[in-house]
Amino acid sequence: MDIILASGSPRRHELLAAAQLEFSIMSVDIDETPHDDESPKDYIQRMVTTKATAAVAKLNADHQNNQSQLSTFSLALNIPFIILTADTIGVLPDGKTVLVKPTDCNHAYSMWQRMSDKTHQVWTAVQATQVILTAIDKTNSNDSISSVDTIELQVIWQQQIIERTDVSFVPLTPDMMANYWNSGEPADKAGGYGIQGLAAAWVTRINGSYTNVVGLPLAQTLALINDASNGYNNNKIKLIS
Ligand SMILES: Cc1cn([C@H]2C[C@H](O)[C@@H](COP(=O)(O)OP(=O)(O)OP(=O)(O)O)O2)c(=O)[nH]c1=O
């Protein structure tokens, strides 16, 4: 089943490629600001759902404007495919504080000081959204002239997983934090660090999936993709709308 990874994360591209899966890539741009007092679970589920909705809307809009990425993805009518979206956050030991990408140096320092010499968690949510390209009859019942059928993506199934990994840090000194910020690596990463990069020196141990920390729990994502493919093939999936 064709897969579109709706993500701008180079780490996610690399991880899915490591699974030797064929997939296409598109990016979506959404507001990732957490709501006040939003729980980590509510936030991360909202993120992957919003990214999936934005991806479907972008593909439909491009198609309507005849700039169809659908043709780019050579998607066929009535053949389902999967849109994968993901979101990674840090969660402090209080179980409530969400750690996203740092807005600036001070924000990074404030997160790191609360992670220093402690164990936090990294959560990644992944959503598989199965869509199908269908011809929609837009006949207007108020007049006898039916408009030309249009082709639209319809969601027929979606499922989310959330994977959690414990990550323990060494005590962080001001020099360690300053040097790391100046490396430029923290800017585009949840919690302001990359375990696969220079921050590997900060990690004493993890408990759980390593790829989940990097941004895509690979074994679990492959199981989700299989669920979607097998579900459709075994006619377990009914059209949602
Ligand atoms: C904790 C951690 C996060 N990250 C990255 C993974 C994600 O790319 C990023 C979390 O931000 P996300 O918003 O999850 O992802 P993104 O904005 O990079 O990409 P998109 O929303 O388009 O899918 O942090 C690492 O690379 N290494 C790490 O150790």
What the chain holds in terms of domains, given with CATH numbers, is 2-239 (3.90.950.10)
Compute the mean pLDDT over every residue in the chain, rounded to the nearest whole number. Answer: 88
Residue 164 pLDDT more than 80? yes
- Are the CB atoms for 130 and 232 separated by under 8 Å? yes
As a whole number of angstroms, the distance between CA 72 and CA 173 comes to 49
Q: Is the pLDDT of residue 98 over 90?
A: yes
Give the model's confidence band at 231: pLDDT under 50 very low, under 70 low, under 90 confident, else very high: low
Report whether 48 contacts 86 (CB < 8 A). Answer: yes
φ and ψ of 128, to 5 deg: -100, 120
Distance CA 217, CA 206 (A): 14
In the chain, % of residues over pLDDT 90: 73
For the chain, percent of residues with pLDDT exceeding 70: 85
Active site residue 36: no
**Beta-bridge mates of residue 4:** 24, 83
The reply to whether ligand 1 has any atom less than 6 angstroms from the CB of 186 is no
What is the chain's Cα-based Rg?
Answer: 20
Give the pLDDT band (50/70/90) at residue 146.
Answer: very low
C-alpha of residue 141 to centroid of ligand 1, in Å: 47
Residue 140 has a pLDDT of 58
Q: Whose CA is nearest to atom 17 of ligand 1?
A: 9
Q: Are 55 and 26 in contact (CB under 8 A)?
A: yes
pLDDT at 78: 73
Best residue among 16, 85, 189, 209 to mutate for probing ligand 1's pocket (most ligand atoms within 8 Å of CB) is: 189
Instruction: Name residues whose C-beta falls within 8 Å of residue 234's C-beta, 6 or more positions apart in sequence.
Output: none
Output the pLDDT for position 65.
73
pLDDT value at 119 more than 60: yes
- Check pocket membership of 123 for ligand 1, CB cut-off 6 A: no
Q: What is the pLDDT of residue 139?
A: 62
ipTM tops the 0.90 cut: yes
Per-residue pLDDT tens digits for 42-79: 999 999 999 999 999 998 888 777 655 555 555 667 78
In this structure, the dihedral spanned by the alpha carbons of residues 210, 212, 214 and 218, taken in order and rounded to 10 degrees, is 90
Instruction: Over range 95-118, report the average pLDDT.
Output: 97
C-alpha to C-alpha distance for 160 and 129, rounded to whole angstroms: 9
- Give the angle 165-168-172 at the CA atoms, nearest 5°: 140
